Amino acid sequence: MGGPSTIPEVHDFLSRLFHDHDLIPLPFQSVLAPVIAKRRTPQIEKQYTDIGGGSPILKWTKIQGEEMCKLLDELNPETAPHKPYVAFRYAKPLTEDCLEEMQKDGVTRAIAFTQYPQYSCSTTGSSLNELFRLARKDGYGDKGSVEWSVLDRWPTNEGLVEAFAHNVKTALQQYPEERRKDVVIMFSAHSLPLEIVNRGDPYTAEVAATVHAVMTKLNFSNPYRLTWQSKVGPKAWQGPQTASAIEGFAKIGKKDICLVPIAFTSDHIETLYELDIEVQEEAEKLGVHLTRASSLNDSPIFIRAIADLVSNHLKDFQQGKIGPTGQQLLLRCPGCTNPKCGKTKEWLSTGGVGLAA
């Protein structure tokens, strides 16, 4: 999604977010979105002020991409040099900024590599829809001008799982040894409206797959649960909500809890404000000893993981073992209501050559 790097960028970020029907389906969206964005801007500006004056997500994404490409140049010298480009959905650099930079650089081969390890139509799907829309509108990136392939999900990638497990083990060291094995590991992921979940969106299942893989890596050392955060608006969203779950555990005497942001690959407002400030304050009132596993950020384990993932993708694509997309991306949700999805998937399946007449 990206995040505003400075306070003056907050309103435009919120406006783009609430206008995106793929993420937040609203009735009369073009009318309601500007109203909601304007109303929420002062509150969200304060939250970004409290975490240092802006989101660090661009900083971390650039570091991850640059370090990944250094490794890729060694792992895949035949396709070097490699360069990372950032395309955020709601904050600069936007997809159009990314494509403009790529065009200036003369890029003719690109991998659309999602930084959401778990796929959702509302996140990765929305970003891919935007890529297709702009490529078709502006010409660059369409009709074979760029040969595209897609890394659309990687929820149980071995390196990703290892990076999460390492950070969980480190966080658990903050508890006395005699209490450590009883600490509840609470995996927290960004929630989704239930109407999206019930259409058959794969996100909740893929998040659960990541959680299970991490716990397998940890030999199921602790009790654990998957909870959900960042609900917006009055509609029903996937639950239980993280804050409510902590309150529930406190009532039954489980007051040692380690939070793990399992669907994010770097720090941003959902970790630094929602978890570290809001949820932490509530936990303290309940007498809960709440810790949080560090986000992946510049973890060398994580950076090696994404380098290996892209390296293998490049080699398999070159050798004809895989096509531009995986089979899972091409399967639309059984209750899909968005005609854009089908056209985007068809376009990506051609590697950006174009749609059949």
User: Does 267 participate in catalysis according to the annotation?
Assistant: yes
Choice among 267, 275, 309, 313 that is catalytic: 267
**CA dist., res. 137 & res. 128, Å (int):** 14
User: Does 190 participate in catalysis according to the annotation?
Assistant: yes
Residues 6+ apart with CB under 8 A from 283: 246, 250, 257, 290
Choice among 9, 14, 17, 131 that is catalytic: 17
Q: Do the Cβ atoms of 236 and 271 come closer than 8 Å?
A: no
CB atoms within 10 A of CB 214: 24
Q: Do the Cβ atoms of 190 and 263 come closer than 8 Å?
A: yes
Choice among 9, 215, 274, 313 that is catalytic: 274
What SS3 state is found at 39?
helix
Q: Do the Cβ atoms of 249 and 184 come closer than 8 Å?
A: yes
User: Does 82 participate in catalysis according to the annotation?
Assistant: no
The tokens 């990076």 sit on which residue?
A: 163
Choice among 14, 23, 58, 151 that is catalytic: 23
Beta bridge partners of 113: 151
User: Does 96 participate in catalysis according to the annotation?
Assistant: no
3-state secondary structure 174-191: CCCHHHHCCCEEEEEEEC
Query: Phi/psi of residue 326, each to 5°?
Result: -85, 165
Choice among 19, 82, 190, 292 that is catalytic: 190
Amino acid, res. 274: E
**CA dist., res. 113 & res. 124, Å (int):** 9
Choice among 99, 142, 270, 272 that is catalytic: 270
Choice among 16, 20, 71, 90 that is catalytic: 90
Choice among 89, 153, 268, 313 that is catalytic: 89
User: Does 1 participate in catalysis according to the annotation?
Assistant: yes
Alpha helices in the chain (DSSP H): 10-19, 29-50, 57-75, 95-105, 124-138, 158-172, 177-180, 194-197, 203-217, 242-251, 269, 280-285, 300-318, 327-330, 339-349
Whether residue 339 has a cis bond before it, omega within 30° of 0? no
**CA dist., res. 135 & res. 141, Å (int):** 5
Show which residues are catalytic. 1, 17, 23, 89-90, 190, 267, 270, 274
